[in-house]
Amino acid sequence: MMARALSADPPTLDRVSSPAYARPVPPRARRAAARGGSPFDPQETPLARTRRARRMARELALIHPDAHCELDFTNAFELLVATVLSAQTTDKMVNRVTPTLFAKYPDAQALAGADRAELEEILKPTGFFRAKATSVLGLAQALLERFGGEVPGRMADLVTLPGVGRKTANVVLGNAFDVPGLTVDTHFGRLVRRFGWTAEEDPVKVEAEIAELIPKRDWTMFSHRVIFHGRRVCHAKKAACGACGLAQWCPSYGIGPTDPEVATKLVKTPAASDTE
């Protein structure tokens, strides 16, 4: 599966089925979030939470029609390695390094036989390059020894590989094998907690709870949309609440500027946010 090209258009916050600056009535959870508490409302019924989550998911599809995997890759091996390298750095930085990396080591066999010093030099811009060199060397060797140099298409097999957890496995399964998966990275976890869909911090528990809310067929694209929203609108330090099309359903509305003019200035274009 080939990577999709990044859209030249900025996020389209105007493509929503209701006003982007809707002023909702603050629920109990919104008051709790404003006080710094959890926006998760235990009094919200599972059915109500599911309906709200799916309504927000539909809105995300309108807000971010260009959502996609922001790591550049042309096959499952490249995506697997790129995802491992993306730890503690940006996708943008990984995308700068991988053309050189894959030109020199195009498959598991070539990477497994790489000269460590040369590999570390290529990976140096990504940070923690010695540890990452160890990870990808071990990964390539494991692929050769146990899977004939091919990337397996099952979660149970992927998570046995060095440096591969459920998040990385879901990225590979969803984008290289079209197997639905939820990618619980820092953006995803932050947003679904702000949405009041879960109070869990553990990524595995977050994945399990969100899997109950969103239809399985939508998991991969839903993950991309949430991550896009986290990178461009719902920032960790200052969310652009007044420019968010999810405002009327979000219990965390108000944790960032609610004035539309102020908030709009916080929204990042793909070029500006570029996969932070």
Count of other CB atoms within 10 angstroms of residue 260: 15
Which residue is listed with tokens 């030109």? 103
Residue of 9, 104, 167, 178 with catalytic role: 167
- Annotated catalytic residue within 185, 202, 238, 274: 185
Binding residue positions: 234, 241, 244, 250
Structure tokens at 57: 């998911």
Rounded Cα distance between 177 and 53, Å, is: 26
Q: How many CA atoms lie within 13 A of 271 on its CB side?
A: 3
Binding-site residues for [4Fe-4S] cluster sit at 234, 241, 244, 250
Name the burial class of residue 247, with classes exposed (0-12), middle (13-18) and buried (19+) by CB atoms within 10 angstroms of its CB: buried
* Residues 6 or more apart whose Cβ sits within 8 Å of residue 193: 38, 39, 40, 199, 200, 201, 206
Active site residue 14: no
Helix (H) or strand (E) holding 133: helix 129-147
- Rg of the chain taking only CA atoms, in angstroms: 20
Packing angle, helices 76-85 and 166-176, rounded to 10: 150
Which tokens in the block code for residue 38? 């959890």
Active-site residue flag, 185? yes
- Catalytic (active-site) positions: 167, 185
